[in-house]
């Protein structure tokens, strides 16, 4: 069924899935209440569909796509049980290509983008779940709304009938102090307490391969894992 190299990759991914799942369970036991759930997303940027499907078969059925064109090339090759969220920077003119194929867009960082998602969702008779992306580290190289403007943006988005704000997403700066994660969690809780119309502040998407345990410690309930599942990214793709 597999050549030697493919069989080795298969085994490595299975072991990686087990390790990540174990670490997530340990983090929940150490830092969170036993009934709290943390969902693991497999980030599929540059990863071949057949490798992604190994993770899906092992129970990681939530996938995160970063690039519209790459997703369009791969989506029909994924297992049918896979659920896909879009997590990368999204231009308004690209929304039309993914609106019917993803169940959530995690990277909404402007009212302009939210309006376009709302418009196309209405056109397609659906309501799109979204997360608001915050640039929690105020980094010039990263997208995301400024943390001081997130409250007004969420309030404006709550008036759009064909999107549903489900929570927040962020990428903390590398090697940052844990206070950054704590600050993000506090923003999440403050928005949750507001109980805004059309807003279910249920998801805090925070933490990747290098910091997912820290993120869980500080309230994340969705971690986005790429390298720890599939190995170093193939930048030539």
236 inside domain: no
Residue 111's contacts (CB-CB under 8 Å, 6 or more residues apart) are 153, 156, 157
3-state secondary structure the chain: CCCHHHHHHHHHHHHHHHHHHHHHHHHHHHHCCCCCCCEEEEECCCCCHHHHHHHHHCCCCEEEECCHHHHHHHHHHCCCCCEEEECCCCCHHHHHHHCCCCCEEEEECCHHHHHHHHHHHHHCCCCEEEEEEECCCCCCCCCCECCCCHHHHHHHHCCCCCEEEEEEEECCCCCCCHHHHHHHHHHHHHHHHHCCCCEEEEEEECCCCCCHHHHHHCCCCEEEECHHHHCCCCCCC
**Domain contains 235:** no
Residue 144 phi/psi, 5° resolution? 120, 145
What is the three-class DSSP state of 204? Answer: strand
**224: β partners:** 41
Return d(Cα 147, Cα 156) in angstroms, integer. 15
Decide if 237 is inside a domain. Answer: no
In a domain, 12, yes or no: yes
Number of domains making up the chain: 1
Tokens of 62: 């939530």
On whether residue 163 sits in a domain, the answer given is: yes
Evaluate whether residue 234 is within a structural domain.
Answer: no
Structural domain of residue 50, as residue ranges? 4-229
What CATH number is given to the structural domain containing 62? 3.20.20.10
pLDDT for the residue numbered 35: 87
- Whether 159 is covered by a domain: the verdict is yes
Inside any domain, residue 62: yes
Between strands 39-43 and 199-205, the pairing is: unpaired
Walk along the chain (237 residues) and give the pLDDT tens digit of each residue. Answer: 455 577 889 999 999 999 999 999 999 999 999 889 999 999 999 999 999 999 999 999 999 999 999 999 999 999 999 999 999 999 999 999 999 999 999 999 999 999 999 999 999 999 999 999 999 999 988 999 999 999 999 999 999 999 999 999 999 999 999 999 999 999 999 999 999 999 999 999 999 999 999 999 999 999 999 999 999 876 433
Instruction: Please report the pLDDT score of residue 235 as a whole number.
Output: 46
DSSP 142-181: S-SB-TTTHHHHHHHHTT-TTEEEEEEEE-PPTT--HHHH
């Amino acid at each position: 069924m597999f050549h030697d190299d493919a069989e080795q990759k298969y085994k490595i991914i299975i072991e990686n899935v087990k390790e990540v799942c174990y670490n997530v369970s340990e983090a929940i036991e150490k830092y969170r209440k036993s009934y709290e759930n943390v969902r693991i997303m497999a980030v599929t940027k540059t990863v071949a569909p057949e490798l992604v499907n190994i993770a899906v078969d092992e129970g990681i059925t939530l996938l995160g796509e970063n690039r519209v064109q790459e997703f369009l090339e791969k989506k029909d090759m994924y297992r049918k049980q896979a659920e896909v969220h879009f997590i990368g920077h999204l231009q308004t003119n690209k929304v039309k290509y993914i609106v019917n194929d993803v169940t959530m867009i995690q990277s909404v960082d402007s009212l302009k983008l939210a309006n376009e998602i709302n418009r196309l969702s209405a056109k397609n008779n659906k309501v799109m779940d979204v997360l608001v992306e915050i640039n929690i580290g105020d980094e010039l190289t990263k997208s995301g709304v400024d943390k001081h403007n997130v409250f007004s943006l969420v309030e404006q988005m709550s008036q759009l009938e064909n999107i549903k704000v489900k929570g927040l997403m962020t990428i903390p700066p590398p090697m940052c102090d844990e206070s950054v994660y704590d600050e993000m969690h506090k923003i999440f809780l403050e928005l949750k307490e507001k109980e805004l119309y059309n807003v279910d502040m249920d998801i805090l998407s925070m933490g990747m391969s290098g910091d997912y345990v820290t993120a869980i410690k500080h309230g994340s309930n969705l971690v986005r894992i790429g390298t720890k599942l599939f190995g170093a990214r193939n930048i030539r793709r």
